[in-house]
Amino acid sequence: MKTVIEPFRIKSVEPIRMTTQEERRELIRAAKFNLFGLHSDDVLIDLLTDSGTGAMSVGQWAAMMRGDESYAGSPSFYRFEAAVKNLMPFRHVIPTHQGRAAEAILFSIFGGAGRNIPSNTHFDTTRGNIEASGAEAYDLVIDEGLDPQSPYPFKGNMNLERLEVFLVEHGDSVPCVMLTITNNAGGGQPVSLENIRATAALARRHDKPFFIDGCRFAENAWFIKQREPDQANRSIPDIVRDCFAEADGMTMSAKKDAFGNIGGWLALNDDGLAEQARSHLLRTEGFPTYGGLAGRDLEALAQGLAEIVDEDYLRYRIQTNTYIIDRLDALDVPVVKPAGGHAVFIDARKWLGHIPPLAYPGQALAVALYELGGIRGCEIGTVMFGAHPDGSESPAAMDLVRLAFPRRTYTQSHADYLIEVFAELAKRKDSLTGYRITEQPRLLRHFTCAFEPL
């Protein structure tokens, strides 16, 4: 059969509060045209993020009842630790409340003024933690990764030539090499096993520890299985183990590929580094057998890790994006191709060519999707990246809108509805206007700034 069905039944539901276009026009106006300002029960389909927003399984809810809340040595921790080590065989696994807490700990060790840290593309919080320590963050993704139309199968790959030059040039000031799988900031695009191995080998040759930001490791492994020579007959857990066997450590947001609503970890092999990390953890997160989490959260993650590597799930997960991208493509909506792991990215600058970048075409599209269809996405463009510390502003490299899919949460009819909203919008897109920012904070303006239509 060609139809890929959702590989689950629904036992418990969250009603969606239906709203009309008129109501939504008022609601978004009241939120000053900033989608982060909406109440989420005024949203029909919430594609703001895939982080912590997924549905947990019966197995996870059942496991939560087993959660042991002992301050030290909880059996829930040992089940969590075993589940992580089963896929990522690091010597030390340190739980944290989410991914950025693991990053903060890692860069309290590796960061600092004068240090330079390369990755394919650092996620915002990773970059934020590096820069807050005084170090500098560099993105060295391959050129195909910056071209929305390139069909290259592994657009998240590290540019190895640039990394080599970088390591020679920056020498001792480089404390580690990072790699984000999948490359979220670059469209959820995967990194090949070959590229992971080559990046690790290069780091080793220069005597640098190699760390993976593994948030979407299972989606990445699925792409490796589908697209990389000689991987088609291998199991997902085997591919995952091969990826992490190359690394000296990892940071993880368990709100993504561990099916958690909260959670994360830092894992590493080096005993000395682990000791430093644990003493930081004790100060900021909690005792090393719970980090920033409850015992029940650790149980949910242990079970989630067993479920996320299921091939029926991963096939359905990636097929959802492919299904939507193929149909948007047929409507001539410019989408980032090929389909990434967790989100569909629309090239708003191209689609709304009549709105100049400094009038925020991504914001115009995101607001229109909400008004017309009650869909909440996220502008990833000039609103997010266009403001500079000196108060000036320039267009970002791209003006995209990200529609990120919570795991196991929406069904194909939600996808069909989304496609219908785009078909309707296609008819009236030339009448959309740009926006102007009327109030903004100094940093991370996209979360709270106020807009006015032009």
- Nearest Cα to 271, choosing from 91, 2, 122? 91
Q: How far apart are CA 295 and CA 75, in angstroms?
A: 8
Nearer to ligand F0G, 138 or 355 (CB): 138
- In degrees and rounded to multiples of 5, residue 387 shows phi and psi of -90, 140
What single-letter amino acid sits at 267? A
- Per-residue binding string, ligand F0G, 244-263, x by CB under 6 A, is ---------x-x--------
Least Å from the CB of residue 297 to ligand F0G: 13
Tokens describing residue 174: 């480089």
Are 64 and 296 spatial neighbours (Cβ–Cβ below 8 Å)? Answer: yes
Nearer to ligand F0G, 95 or 99 (CB): 99
Least Å from the CB of residue 254 to ligand F0G: 7
The greatest distance separating any two alpha carbons of the chain, rounded to the nearest whole angstrom, comes to 61
Least Å from the CB of residue 53 to ligand F0G: 9
The region of 63-71, 93-101, 300-308, 369-377 touching ligand F0G under the rule CB under 6 A is: 93-101
- Per-residue binding string, ligand F0G, 36-65, x by CB under 6 A, is -------------x-x--------------
Q: How far apart are CA 439 and CA 427, in angstroms?
A: 32
Are 436 and 359 spatial neighbours (Cβ–Cβ below 8 Å)? Answer: yes
Nearer to ligand F0G, 71 or 447 (CB): 447
Are 370 and 445 spatial neighbours (Cβ–Cβ below 8 Å)? Answer: no
- Nearest Cα to 265, choosing from 101, 125, 390, 25? 101
Q: Which of 139, 144, 213, 371 binds ligand F0G (CB under 6 A)?
A: 213
Strands 400-404 and 378-380: antiparallel
> Counting contacts by CB under 6 A, is residue 289 touching ligand F0G?
no
The region of 92-100, 287-295, 356-364, 411-419 touching ligand F0G under the rule CB under 6 A is: 92-100
Are 218 and 308 spatial neighbours (Cβ–Cβ below 8 Å)? Answer: yes
Least Å from the CB of residue 431 to ligand F0G: 30
Least Å from the CB of residue 98 to ligand F0G: 3
List contacts with ligand F0G (CB under 6 A): 49, 51, 98-100, 123, 125-126, 180, 184, 213, 215, 253, 255, 264
